[in-house]
Structure 1
Amino acid sequence: MAAEPRELRQAAADWLAVADPRGKAAAVRAGIAAVGRVDPAAPVAAPSPLPGRPDRPRLVDPAQVPRRSPFTREGRAALLHAVAHIEFNAINLALDAVWRFPGLPEAYYRDWLRVAAEEALHFTLVDEHLATLGHAYGDFDAHDGLWTMAEKTAGDLTARMALVPRTLEARGLDATPPMQARLARAGDAQAVAILDVILRDEVGHVAIGNRWYRWCCTHEGLDPVAHYAVLSRRHGAPRLKPPFNLSARRAAGFDEDELAALPPA
């Protein structure tokens, strides 16, 4: 007899607690087809640990993470390790957005579960390429900025949508093309192709953040542009720095008022 499909939010919480990065990524990618109903009001057993993650990489202050050059094998491995760390954290962030916030439309939960599965694919692609350079996830130090913002916004869905997908993850839209250019000059065509996949999908992920941020603002009677500035100050969001990938940001749903509010070059 086939097992009954799992409730979506509890499945997300269970996957979030998985500490092994490869195991987490594989579970999410395989499990997304096996989840069934969504019960936005059902109690969910909180993940433990929260989040599940391995003992390595060692997490240090962002200022202690050195700059990485792609023009040596070791430097390229360190650069791609940083990408793998971002993608692993992005799995956790998407799963946390699913289980943590009750009472929302079903489309919200299915959106973020799809994001989790795509982030799991991204992690797997980078992790496999990292192995060809003689390294594995955990070999280099990393920082915890993404999850720190998740903790700051744990009690406020509007802030979570504003400051994780629309701020921290949107920075990837700006950073990826220059990174691809450097990797291309270093001769790593496979890494460039992987980043093509990541950039394509991240436009969609930021668009989902924009959609649900505006949904929250509409329900709360807030102006999205003005309230974003309030949330950024309240939660200590990092200052955005040019250059900006305006075409990708437009494709991700930022409007002209939001783009005009970005710091000038």
Structure 2
Amino acid sequence: MTTIAAACRQVLDAAEPREKVRLARAAARAWKRGELAARFDVAMPDQPARPERPELLPPNRMPKRGRGGSERGRIALLHALAHIEFSAIDLAFDAAGRFGAQFPRRYIDDWLSVGADEAMHFAILDRRLKVLGSHYGALPAHAGLWESAAETAHDPAARLAVVPMVLEARGLDVTPETVARFEMAGDVASARILHRIYTDEIRHVGFGAKWFGYLCANAGILPAPEWQRLVGRFFRGVIKPPFNDSARQSAGLTRDFYGPIAAS
């Protein structure tokens, strides 16, 4: 029987987008059916495989996207979001395969469901790009999305603190406004896709908060101060408003976590 670690590694080693999506969905289904052994006998890679396109650029070389008012601006924004979702597939499967031995089985359930969601999100964004006359890989993309994963590869608490509870939580803050801009531009189809992703991401941030709380409870420490400590050490950016407090609270990420360290 194939192991969960081997299945996660397969996803991370797949460079071609359609193959990564296929393997992600297949792994999630196989785990749910009990077809993968709960063994962590295969190491996760330092870097996931990537396709030849898009060209990956450092943040300071990325072209300005605009705010999505024009069709060109909306395509650029959808492409950037597709790249985030493509990278999020790897982040979910790496979280399961790298740290799963340190958690109950329900942790694997959660992160494989996240990985399947991210694969679906990428697929529908790529499909929408094609309808608009583009495709994933047509534009350059951000090269730094894996940096937080690499810097927290040694520590599940740090990974949970930074990836779902900072990076994905930021999506909860900015997506409603993006949906509204697409609707104002008359691109209702894209707006519906983004709203679907937004509702799923609330659950994903919730999984991060839940398992971070689990680690803190086991260690006998308070979650909010520990989160602040780890974010200060491993997150290079700034925790800045505006915050979608209601969505964050729905995910279990209450203001006592981010309020004290938010930039004024």
- TM-score strictly above 0.5: yes
Structure 1 residues 81 and 226: CA distance shift in structure 2, 3 A: same
Q: Which runs of 4+ in 1 moved over 3 A?
A: 37-42
Q: State the partner residue of 2:181.
A: 182
Q: Residue type matched to 1:235 in 2?
A: F
What's the CA shift for 1:42? 3.5
Q: State the partner residue of 2:13.
A: 17
What's the CA shift for 1:14? 1.1
Counterpart CA distance in 1 for 2:113 and 2:211 is 15
Counterpart CA distance in 1 for 2:38 and 2:201 is 26
Report SS of the residue matched to 1:261. helix
CA deviation vs aligned residue, 1:116-162 (integer Å, no higher than 9, x gap): 00010000110000001111111111113321000000000000000
What's the CA shift for 1:38? 5.9
Structure 1 residues 14 and 130: CA distance shift in structure 2, 3 A: same
Structure 1 residues 220 and 39: CA distance shift in structure 2, 3 A: farther
Q: State the partner residue of 1:122.
A: 121
What's the CA shift for 1:221? 2.5
Q: Normalised by the size of structure 1, how large is the TM-score?
A: 0.91
Q: State the partner residue of 1:53.
A: 50
State the identity as a percent.
43
- Please state if 1:27 is matched with 2:23: yes
Kindly report which structure 2 residues correspond to 1:202-221, keeping only aligned pairs within 5 A, or say none: 202-221=201-220
Kindly report which structure 2 residues correspond to 1:58-137, keeping only aligned pairs within 5 A, or say none: 58-69=55-66, 70-101=68-99, 102-137=101-136
What's the CA shift for 1:180? 0.9
Kindly report which structure 2 residues correspond to 1:140-155, keeping only aligned pairs within 5 A, or say none: 140-155=139-154
CA deviation vs aligned residue, 1:88-116 (integer Å, no higher than 9, x gap): 01101000001111232111111100000
What's the CA shift for 1:39? 5.0
Q: Residue type matched to 1:65 in 2?
A: M
Counterpart CA distance in 2 for 1:30 and 1:215 is 28
CA contact (8 A) 2:44 2:94 kept: no
CA deviation vs aligned residue, 1:186-209 (integer Å, no higher than 9, x gap): 111011000111001000000000
Q: Residue type matched to 1:22 in 2?
A: R
Q: Normalised by the size of structure 2, how large is the TM-score?
A: 0.92
Deviates more, 1:15-24 or 1:255-264: 255-264
CA contact (8 A) 2:228 2:261 kept: no
Counterpart CA distance in 1 for 2:102 and 2:179 is 40
Structure 1 residues 42 and 91: CA distance shift in structure 2, 3 A: closer
Q: Residue type matched to 1:54 in 2?
A: P
What's the CA shift for 1:259? 5.0
Q: State the partner residue of 1:240.
A: 239
Q: Residue type matched to 1:193 in 2?
A: R
Give the superposed CA RMSD. Answer: 1.9
Counterpart CA distance in 1 for 2:258 and 2:235 is 20
Kindly report which structure 2 residues correspond to 1:155-170, keeping only aligned pairs within 5 A, or say none: 155-170=154-169
